[in-house]
Amino acid sequence: MRTADSRGQWWRFGLLLVITGVVLVPVAAVLVLALRPGVASGSTASFGIANFTHVFTDVPTLIWLANSLGVTLATVLVSVAVAAPAGYVLSRGRSRAVSAYSLLLFVVQSLPVITAVIPLFLLFAEIGLVDNLIGLGIVYVGASMSVAVWMMAAYIDTIPVSLEEAAWIDGASLFTGFTRIVLRNSLPGVLSTAIFTFLVSWNDYLVAIVFLRSEERFTLPIGVQSFFQQNGTDWGSVMALAVVMMLPPVIVFTTLNRYFSVGGIGGSLAGT
Amino acid sequence: MTRARRTLLLLVAPSLALLVLINAYPLVYAAVQSVRDGTLIDPGDFVGLDNYRDTLTSPAFWRSVRFTLIFTAVGVFGSWLGGLGLALLLRTRIPGRTVFKTLLLLPWVVPVVVSSTAWNWLVATPQSLLPTLVHALGLGTPLFLADPVWARITVCVFKVWISVPFMMMMISAALTGVDRAVYEAADVDGATRWQQFAHITLPMIARSTYISWILMTIFCVNDFPTIYLLTGGGPVDATTSLVVLSYRTVFQNFQVGPGVAIAFVMTLSLVVVSVALYRQIRKAHA
């Protein structure tokens, strides 16, 4: 029994190893090509960081990186600040208005970004928010709002109401109960929401390609894409830029992975 | 209004304001634009339902509908099967489980701009890695992005590759709720592995499965970068989904009215379908 069990274990281990290997081929290709100096870098070594020196000195990579970081951090902060109180209401509220709000979140989530992007482009053009990183951030906060609220609500569901009730009896207001008790115990929920909005904002292509016009405003996705279109055969430099773009989300996700849960979305969608 | 209700309203107010600005307002604006013949800089004149008539009678629109349906069906069920398989494998005792779990999430975490570039390098020309391998095996030289049928297959596989981790996370979360004692009891009763899967595992994850299908349908129908960055909608429109068609109509042909009409028809169908499904879940759960 024991040997059969451990044989099954090694068979599954081998299978997982093969699957993971195949799945990661594209990611491995990016890393390998980035570290193999290409023609444009002027280096003859078979292995090295010449591509990275090239993209950081001859391409506005640093500006794009700074733009992406700025927009993403602002989006994460604002999203969490807006989604946490809304998630609290969604989790604790039991009225008809709360149900309507929940349905609204769901309808909004199913709206295609393309439908919103065209009118927003026209509106933002009027008020000078096209080709502007603030305009971009506003759209990202709106685009990630539903999932962010669900994630916060899902986490707040796990905090017992009795804690707040005790505080209310001691004379605390609803708002104090929310900030002093619920928010203080919501770090995993906040991190989960933050990771999600980070990914939405960092990885977005559609909104950025519509809204950004000048090279010094580009975020990394648009920078990488335009560089790829102009230097399609210089795979070394293209992949070095790709590495710069994929490292932040990969680092954030692998270190904070244990806090991230999409499972809860199901619960708050279905209602409790 | 009581003080408590006022506080609750204040707490949702910022999110409501954003939902209206970023989602409700554009929807109304889009509705208006879709009955005009404007461009990006000129609001144009009222043309009634012409844009809708042109859209619904255009063969390009129906070709896009067909591709969107194929893309969505393959995306949803392909990623569900993959995610289910991996979630079940990862549930067993395996050395290095956490490492595998993290590595397998990477396709979802890596930006699409990066992964589409990598896939391009792998398949784009006959000299790329995958076509060379296929050729070496004596299986001909499929043009993965230049042949219409192969391009459709490649885009769908790419979408499944990106989406499997999301499904894996959803199903893994649902599986942790299943009590192991149930399986032990089933073992004692002599239930086969397949019977255990069909009568214990599947029912236990049914609700998350249903929700994940709805969410993935929305993600697939609304997807733009996965398709656009890999094929640009080509070759010869073979992989032009409704979103890509709408994007091209507005931002490449500068026909705002027809482009918005396409997006609007798609939005309405999606909202109707997803709200119906949403009611279904809430009803099933109540």
pLDDT digits (tens, 9 = 90+) for B133-164: 888 888 877 888 888 999 999 999 999 999 99
Q: Which helix (H) or strand (E) holds A34?
A: helix A25-34
Least confident interval from A71-75, A109-113, B183-187, B220-224? A109-113
Q: Identify the closest residue of chain B to A226 by CA–CA distance.
A: B113
CA distance A155 to A45: 51
**What is the mean pLDDT of the segment spanning B18-46?**
81
Confidence tier at A180 by pLDDT (50, 70, 90): confident
Query: Has residue B203 got a pLDDT over 60?
Result: yes
Greater confidence (B178 vs A186) lies with A186
Provide the whole-model pTM.
Answer: 0.88
Least confident interval from A2-11, A81-90, A249-258, B261-270? A2-11
pLDDT per residue as tens digits for the range B41-94? 777 778 878 888 888 888 999 999 999 999 999 999 999 999 999 999 998 888
Instruction: Answer whether B82's CB lies under 8 Å from B167's CB.
Output: yes
Q: Which helix (H) or strand (E) holds B150?
A: helix B148-175
Confidence tier at B29 by pLDDT (50, 70, 90): confident
Query: Has residue B244 got a pLDDT over 70?
Result: yes
The helix/strand/coil state of B46 is strand
pLDDT on residue A272? 40
pLDDT on residue A123? 84
Residue among B205, B30, B263, B87 nearest A206 (CA): B263
* Minimum distance, in Å, between the CA of residue B184 and any CA atom of chain A: 15
* Minimum distance, in Å, between the CA of residue B127 and any CA atom of chain A: 12
Confidence tier at A1 by pLDDT (50, 70, 90): very low
Query: Has residue A40 got a pLDDT over 60?
Result: no
Q: State the virtual CA torsion across A139, A143, A147, A152 in degrees, nearest 10.
A: 10
**What is the mean pLDDT of the segment spanning A126-137?**
89
Query: Has residue B173 got a pLDDT over 60?
Result: yes
Q: Would you call A213 exposed, middle or buried from its count of C-beta atoms within 10 A (0-12, 13-18, 19+)?
A: exposed
pLDDT on residue A269? 62
Residue B212 with chain A: CB contacts under 8 Å: 266
**What is the mean pLDDT of the segment spanning B279-286?**
70
Query: Has residue B253 got a pLDDT over 80?
Result: yes
Task: State whether A122 and B169 contact (CB < 8 Å).
Answer: no
pLDDT per residue as tens digits for the range A47-68? 778 888 888 888 899 999 999 9
pLDDT on residue A266? 60
Residue among B155, B165, B203, B164 nearest B182 (CA): B203
Chain position carrying tokens 């919501």: A186
**What is the mean pLDDT of the segment spanning B20-32?**
84
Confidence tier at A8 by pLDDT (50, 70, 90): confident
Give the rounded percent of residues in chain B with a pLDDT score beyond 70: 98
Tell me, yes or no, if A257 comes closer than 8 A to chain B by beta carbon: yes
Residue B46 has phi, psi (to 5 degrees) of -70, 130
Task: State whether A253 and B92 contact (CB < 8 Å).
Answer: no
Q: Identify the closest residue of chain A to B23 by CA–CA distance.
A: A116
Q: How many CB pairs under 8 A join A and B?
A: 263
pLDDT on residue A265? 64
Tell me, yes or no, if A134 comes closer than 8 A to chain B by beta carbon: no
CA distance B247 to B228: 10
Residue A264 with chain B: CB contacts under 8 Å: 173
Confidence tier at A42 by pLDDT (50, 70, 90): low
pLDDT on residue A45? 67
pLDDT per residue as tens digits for the range A193-222? 999 899 989 999 999 998 998 888 999 999
Q: How many CB atoms lie within 10 A of CB B74?
A: 18
Summary mean pLDDT of chain B: 87
CA distance A43 to A271: 59
Query: Has residue A267 got a pLDDT over 70?
Result: no
Tell me, yes or no, if A210 comes closer than 8 A to chain B by beta carbon: yes
pLDDT on residue B150? 92
* Tally: H helices and E strands in chain B: 14, 0
pLDDT on residue A66? 94
pLDDT per residue as tens digits for the range B84-134? 999 999 988 888 888 898 899 999 999 999 999 999 999 887 778 888 888
pLDDT per residue as tens digits for the range A249-266? 999 888 887 777 766 666
The helix/strand/coil state of B35 is coil
Summary mean pLDDT of chain A: 85
Amino acid code (one letter) for B176: T
pLDDT on residue A73? 96
The third-level CATH classification (topology) of the domain covering B46-285 is MetI-like fold (1.10.3720)
pLDDT on residue A52? 87
Task: State whether B23 and A111 contact (CB < 8 Å).
Answer: yes
Query: Has residue A92 got a pLDDT over 60?
Result: yes
pLDDT on residue B68? 95
Segment 226-245 of chain A within 8 Å of chain B by CB: 228, 235, 238-239, 242, 245
Q: How many CB atoms lie within 10 A of CB B165?
A: 23
pLDDT on residue A25? 93
Q: What is the DSSP letter of B36?
A: B
Residue B229 with chain A: CB contacts under 8 Å: 205, 225
pLDDT on residue B187? 85
Task: State whether B113 and A120 contact (CB < 8 Å).
Answer: no
Residue A171 with chain B: CB contacts under 8 Å: none
Query: Has residue B21 got a pLDDT over 60?
Result: yes
Chain position carrying tokens 């975020």: A219
Residue in B18, B90, B260 nearest the CB of A118: B260
Task: State whether B115 and A27 contact (CB < 8 Å).
Answer: yes
